[in-house]
Structure 1
Amino acid sequence: MNSIDYEGVIERGVGTFGGSEAQAHRRRLGVAAKALTTLTGCRWRSPDSGLPRCAAFRMIAVVVASCLSCSPRHWEAQSQFGSSSAGLATFGQTLNIDLVRGWCAEMLYGTMGSSAVDRGDGAGRVERVGLRSVDGLELDAVVHTSERPDVCGSVLLVHGITVDLDEGGGMFVRLADRLAGVGFEVVRFSFRGHGGSDGTQRGVTVAGECLDLQAAVELARGRRSGPMSVVAASFGAVSTVLSLPWLDEELHRLVLWNPVLDLHHTFLEPELPWGADNFGPVQRNQLRDKGFLTVDGEFELGRVLFGEFACYRPLDVFLASRVSTLIVHGDRDGAVSYPIAAEAAWKRPSTLLHTVVGSDHGFDSREREDEAITVTVDWLVDQACAAS
């Protein structure tokens, strides 16, 4: 569903080096990436094409690890394995993915092992913060502060179903930096069972995500940085919209990226290719026999969450709410219905639809991701100015 900005990750990683050293690390990227894609059973593709999400995070992790040169012995070992598929797979198995995931997170957060870092360009600092849901689960969270004297308010970023606080290949990181650079304070967090938060994937529920969102809202509210807005992506729209009955009055603005507004036609009777692949007969049999099904080859969705899909109607709640909203949606979305979102925008007052022409779910190129980010930042700035 998402694509990886391969070139962008490479340049971000090698940016920590200079001259010939940067070139040497860049050459190592191809070896590491091929090893991981071979190990995970994915076909090697060019940097311009999308990778399956199950490989995307591992790909980023290896790119970052290679750029940081954290384990030179891996490069020495690779020369012994050679460039065949079997050799690359063996080389890939020498990498400790769990460890590299930590390095990757540090690079994407910009913290590099410290609790806070100055990002510059008006974006201020990024700091890890403590966040506990009301039922006691510890949630992974970071705050992007702004150095600008005229703080516009706070923005809470709410991620999708199989990702974490970075939203796929780091799109929320880039959005947060842009927002902080123009005067917003930004909170990102991972729902339970995602990223570095407590809980398990199979234990994820809509109700639990609503509890986590409540905790994140209280964190953003407690920062006292002005009016609060929310940007929710894909499945993150479900808990966000279902919370509008209590959140509506204190929410300044709402942005929905490719929002899941109809659970029935997305998951229970899927009308689009992604839903058919992930929630079809074979997956239903796995759910019946094992108590979970596997989404995108990596996320274990439990039977309780699946049962909740029949219980909630986020579209009805959204249409009944009044907070001013921007919907950003690709018109070639193969996972979440664009027509449903477009019709909701047409029916509902104070709702603007921005169509990313030709885009699949998650905005399937760097150019389209940048379009979604720019439209979002510009709209939130305009709305903040209009309210001041």
Structure 2
Amino acid sequence: MPSNSTITHVRTLDGLYLAATLVTPDQPTNRAVVLVHGGGVTREEGGFFTRLAAGLADAGIASLRFDLRGHGDSEGRQEELTMAATLNDIRVSITHLREATGASEIGLCGASFAGGICAYYAAKRPDDLSRLVLLNPQVDYKQRTIDSRDYWSNDVISDERARELNDTGALQFKADLKHGRPFLNEVFWFRPMDVLSEIKAPTLIIHGNADTLVPIDGSREAATKFTAPVEFVEIEGSQHGFAVHDDPQYLNPKSQEYQAEVIETVARWLNA
């Protein structure tokens, strides 16, 4: 099905403009989904969200994907990014998508860093969405941000990294991602796993079983916590991002095969 792609923006509650792309099928649709990317990348997710949006449009589903604040072409500073801010940004993105398409069935899809945040949103604002999709979701933010780092010990940061935080206002978590002090404190208390039973929307979880960045065990545990209908799909042999190891541009044919499988699965499930 032919589709239309429009560059737009979403205004946040606190006045930032987030770069976004709206993709709609040529024919009117009652189904649409907000796509929320992982940390340190952009709304294209290395091209995966670009292809996902096209595949959804082919299936008659509209989508809106936006750059997180401090990412890509969006306003804001990365070190100011918090889970609370992202929840509010999801809220305005859902409103934007609903108004732009007239769709009454709105889904929410979060990848990696955004996965647990989208799950939390679904738990706390159940009337806003009809479906939830989690792609290799991060559901334990403290474990990844604090517990797995050798510069934190017994929940206390080392003197060296504390100086970095004091001097620059952020920690360089990885090459393309900085965490500010608000986020670093937030992860101690923000626990999506604790609210999964509150989610009312049918949920699809897809995770590669060779994922070393966000191990699949978190999704396996999460799938047992839902009271709403949940479908859990493991992609055999897939690393994080539905790819083979060390293929950030997704050029390997096997990576493209993994992603095509995920896109087909998501589109079919949203239309079921």
TM-score (normalised: structure 1): 0.61
1:287/1:303 contact within 8 Å kept: no
Q: Which structure has the greater CA radius of gyration?
A: 1
Q: Kindly state the Cα deviation for residue 343 of structure 1 after the two structures are TM-superposed.
A: 2.1
* Counterpart selection for 1:373 from 263, 266, 270: 263
* Counterpart selection for 1:182 from 47, 50, 59: 59
Q: Give 1:239-258 correspondences, 5 Å limit.
A: 239-258=117-136
TM-score (normalised: structure 2): 0.86
Q: Kindly state the Cα deviation for residue 152 of structure 1 after the two structures are TM-superposed.
A: 4.0
Cα deviations by residue, 1:282-332 (Å, 9 ceiling, x for unpaired): 996664122122233222222221111101111111222121000000112
- Which region of structure 1 is more displaced relative to structure 2, 171-180 or 340-349? 340-349
Cα 1:375–1:285 change in 2 (3 A) is farther
Q: Give 1:318-333 correspondences, 5 Å limit.
A: 318-333=196-211
Counterpart check, 1:137 vs 2:27: no
1:123/1:178 contact within 8 Å kept: no
Q: Kindly state the Cα deviation for residue 137 of structure 1 after the two structures are TM-superposed.
A: 0.5
2:110/2:118 contact within 8 Å kept: yes
Cα deviations by residue, 1:55-75 (Å, 9 ceiling, x for unpaired): xxxxxxxxxxxxxxxxxxxxx
Structure 2 residue runs without a partner (length 5+): 244-254
Q: Kindly state the Cα deviation for residue 339 of structure 1 after the two structures are TM-superposed.
A: 1.4
Query: Which residue in the other structure is 1:226 paired with?
Result: 104
Structure 1 residue runs without a partner (length 5+): 1-121, 271-278, 383-388
SS of the residue corresponding to residue 140 of structure 1 reads: strand
- Greater helix share, 1 or 2? 1
- Greater strand share, 1 or 2? 2
Give the letter for the 2:60 counterpart: G
Q: Give 1:169-318 correspondences, 5 Å limit.
A: 169-223=46-100, 224-270=102-148, 279-281=149-151, 287-291=161-165, 292-318=170-196
Percent of pairs identical after alignment?
31
Q: Give 1:97-176 correspondences, 5 Å limit.
A: 122-149=1-28, 151-167=29-45, 169-176=46-53
Structure of higher RCO (CA pairs closer than 8 Å, 6+ residues apart)? 2
Q: Kindly state the Cα deviation for residue 144 of structure 1 after the two structures are TM-superposed.
A: 0.4
RMSD: 1.8
Aligned pairs, number = 251
Q: 1-side partners of 2:160 and 2:135: how far apart?
A: 30
Cα 1:182–1:201 change in 2 (3 A) is same
Q: Kindly state the Cα deviation for residue 246 of structure 1 after the two structures are TM-superposed.
A: 4.0
Q: 2-side partners of 1:250 and 1:229: how far apart?
A: 9
Q: 2-side partners of 1:325 and 1:152: how far apart?
A: 19
SS of the residue corresponding to residue 108 of structure 2 reads: strand
SS of the residue corresponding to residue 21 of structure 2 reads: strand
Q: 1-side partners of 2:141 and 2:76: how far apart?
A: 23
SS of the residue corresponding to residue 109 of structure 2 reads: strand
1:165/1:172 contact within 8 Å kept: yes
Q: 2-side partners of 1:346 and 1:238: how far apart?
A: 15
